[in-house]
Amino acid sequence: MSFPWANHYTPKAPLMQWIDERLPLPRLVYNAVGAGYPVPRNLNYFWNFGVLSGLALMIQIVTGIVMAMHYGANELVAFGTVEHVMRDVNGGWLMRYAHANGASFFFIVVYLHIFRGLYYSSYKAPREMVWLLGLIIFLLMMATAFMGYVLPWGQMSYWGAKVITGLFGAIPVVGEPIQTWLLGGFAPGNAALNRFFSLHYLLPFVIAGVIILHIWALHIPGSSNPTGVEVKGPQDTVPFHPYYTAKDGFGAGIFFILFAIAVYFGPNFLGHPDNYIEANPLSTPAHIVPEWYFWPFYAILRAFTFDFFFIPAKLLGVLAMFASILLLFFLPWLDTSPVRSGNYRPLFRKFFWILVLDVLVLGYCGGAPAEEPFVMISQVAAAYYFAHFLIILPLIAAFEKPLPLPGSITEAVLAKHGEAAE
Amino acid sequence: MVRIGAFLIGLFFSGWLLVSFLMGAVAYVSEPPVPTAEKEFHLHPKHVSYSFDGPLGHYDKAQLQRGFQVFSEVCSACHSLKFVSFRDLADLGYNEAEIKAIAKNWKIKTPDIDPKTGEMATREPVPSDKFPKPFANNVAAAAANNNAIPPDLSLMTKARHSGTAYVYSLLTGYQQQPAELLQKFPDVKTPAGLHYNPYFANLNLAMAPPLTAEGQVTYGEGQPKPTVDQMAKDVAAFLTWTAEPKMESRKSAGLAVLLFLLVATTLAYMSYRNIWAETKH
């Protein structure tokens, strides 16, 4: 794998040897997430969130497959079959609450994973491909979550589907035909519900495939670390197993505790009450809001209230919303500072925390009704969001004087413990 | 090249957002948003406490039975309960014979096909039936109720913010339209056929006050006095159960799961510390 001192797989049990000679799958696992993958010894808890994201995907796939056994993707029965799962299927309420909250927890850990990457500039060379694949996973997740939210066929499902597909309707000339084509009709109906179910079942497995690429790309340069200094030798790393499997085990325990609190004691806290009302095309909810994990983007969408000459405000909002995600793909080339870790970048660090606050404000405004003062606040916050990535970030490198970097990971670790490097 | 393009795009989006902000701010100051009666007079649900509040809370079966009594004698005349079966009433402490009797004597009959003629007919409900709907369809429901369709109540307490307190507040919240409101907003007098209720989102509700007098429902021996407040509280508890019938098993399973996870996570933490004991990081 990545480092010459990595452990080599030597099967001990005869069965494993037999398998390995014919299909080197044990070797692959060993090198991917076993003792054959050397990892920097100084990773902090923010490096737990990759594994936790994978765990969240597994929870979604398992609970989702069980629920699909009881669900009917038809506009006449969908809402009722979800209630059937909740009331008549043994343990059905657990599956559904775990699945609904699992989506939220998936986004929580993925957002922490992404912001970890932003703070430590994990997107910089040679890990650009890891970052790009991660963003593709993020986009797939958003599509999957959106379509999954439509399936219970509640009021927010229906009107959310209408609003989101309506975004495509903002595209000039071809917009409305595209919207009709996406929905299979002029409004969400049976055709839309069926295709969303089909794709909602398919996309998680596409995500799993891209995760394999994501991990593969990660294993070429190896994991980054909080100092941002590359691994220099064997003293800088520990084998993934048992060191990080143990640490991830503890992280998974904390994750499960928080997840259990949500599922068992506040299962509807993150949901919207309107989705317990069956979809009704004739009654528009007072405030149509997507799930919380889309709120920052929803705020950007709604922040555009004035036409820009011949470009209608709605189209601007749609373009800006897509741009707010697509710009992340260019991050490795926008941030020119040779220093990776925010720990050694005093100016960058300040702007990073402003960005965190900014996204939280956007999220709050996105969940609030589209009225003042929330629209004005989201306009300022959205302006900062674009300025941060497209203007400030490329300029910081020119003005910033980074702090001196440690000579190596080991040196940084020993300095932390008050010892000199040998 | 990437950075120049990014700079221009960033300048465009951020710039236009700030321009929009300024135009919006000018409009906000020159033409402040018009206050509405809904904004100023709508009230959040009252605070009300129940035995099932909190992570250890349980339903009070006697209260659920009283609430069911209010539902069957008052609400069920117009509202359906389409996701709940008679047999589910076992959760309220009724035995099999009692449930059979409740189903058999239910005022509304279950639509079915006459087994002899194949014509549409009705029959007495059995415990495995869902509660039959009071109206054959939405058109009939609207025709009988001044054009407003009484919503199904199975999920009502989950379909509103703070649903249990909402149902309680709505049932006890009917009042005269305040003079202050009419003074401020003379155009929004409650229309004929609607009823003023500040807990309802747009203040005017088609449903007439359903609980009007003490003793409207006769509670059994040893039960609290059936005041309007008590009946509203009980039926809100009953509708919490219809919306979340598995709440008790959810909470008790949750405690066991948390206990297990705390032990498992402690062990995971100890093994993590143990494995890393010799390695500085």
Q: How many CB atoms lie within 10 A of CB B104?
A: 12
Beta strands in B170-273 (DSSP E): 195-196, 204-205
Say which residues have a Cβ less than 8 Å from residue A197's Cβ, sequence separation at least 6: A71, A73, A147, A151
State the pLDDT at residue B33: 85
State the pLDDT at residue A421: 53
| Cα(A56)–Cα(A110) distance, integer angstroms | 9
Nearest CA in chain A to B56: A265
State the pLDDT at residue A401: 95
State the pLDDT at residue A63: 98
Is A348 in contact with A342 (CB distance < 8 Å)? yes
> pLDDT under 70 in chain B at which residues?
none
Smallest Cα distance from A98 to chain B, Å: 12
A370 interfacial to chain B (CB closer than 8 Å): no
* DSSP letter assigned to residue B85: B
Identify the CA nearest to A380 among candidates A352, A354, A351, A358: A358
pTM to 2 decimal places: 0.95
Taking an 8 Å cut-off on Cβ atoms, the answer to whether B3 and A336 are in contact is yes
Contacts of B158 in chain A (CB under 8 A): 268, 273, 276
Please work out, in degrees rounded to the nearest 5, the angle formed at the alpha carbon of residue A299 by the alpha carbons of A293 and A302.
135
A39 interfacial to chain B (CB closer than 8 Å): no
SS3 sequence of B115-149: CCCCCEEEECCCCCCECCCCCCCHHHHHHHCCCCC
Per the listing, tokens 């398998």 go with A19
Identify the CA nearest to A329 among candidates A81, A73, A117: A117
Smallest Cα distance from A347 to chain B, Å: 19
State the pLDDT at residue A370: 85
| Cα(A273)–Cα(B159) distance, integer angstroms | 4
Number of inter-chain CB pairs under 8 A, A vs B = 168
State the pLDDT at residue A2: 65
Q: Where are the alpha helices (DSSP H) in A14-70?
A: 14-22, 25-33, 49-68
Smallest Cα distance from A22 to chain B, Å: 33
State the pLDDT at residue B146: 86
Contacts of A375 in chain B (CB under 8 A): 24
State the pLDDT at residue A420: 64
Q: What is the pLDDT of residues B101-123, one digit of tens each?
A: 999 999 999 999 999 999 999 99
Is A146 in contact with A212 (CB distance < 8 Å)? no
State the pLDDT at residue A417: 86
Per the listing, tokens 């920052």 go with A296
**Nearest-CB residue to B10 (from A274, A373, A386):** A386
Contacts of B13 in chain A (CB under 8 A): 320, 323, 382-383, 386, 390
Taking an 8 Å cut-off on Cβ atoms, the answer to whether B280 and A304 are in contact is no
Beta bridge partners of B110: B123
The whole-number mean pLDDT for each consecutive block of 10 residues of chain A, a chain of 422 residues, reads: 83 93 94 93 96 98 97 96 96 98 98 98 96 98 97 97 92 92 94 97 98 96 95 94 96 98 97 96 93 97 93 94 96 95 96 98 94 93 98 93 95 85 52
| Cα(B255)–Cα(B68) distance, integer angstroms | 29
State the pLDDT at residue B281: 84
B-interface mutation test, from A45, A225, A306, most B Cβ less than 10 A away: A306
Contacts of B251 in chain A (CB under 8 A): 264-265
Nearest CA in chain B to A267: B250
Residues of A acting as catalytic residues: 219, 223, 247-248, 291
**In B224-245, which positions are buried (b, 16+ CB within 10 angstroms) versus exposed (e)?**
eebebbbbbbbbbbbbbbbbbb
ipTM > 0.85 (yes/no): yes
**Average pLDDT for chain B:** 95
* DSSP letter assigned to residue A311: B
Residue B49: what residue type?
S
A362 interfacial to chain B (CB closer than 8 Å): no
Taking an 8 Å cut-off on Cβ atoms, the answer to whether B13 and A372 are in contact is no
A234 interfacial to chain B (CB closer than 8 Å): no
State the pLDDT at residue B280: 85
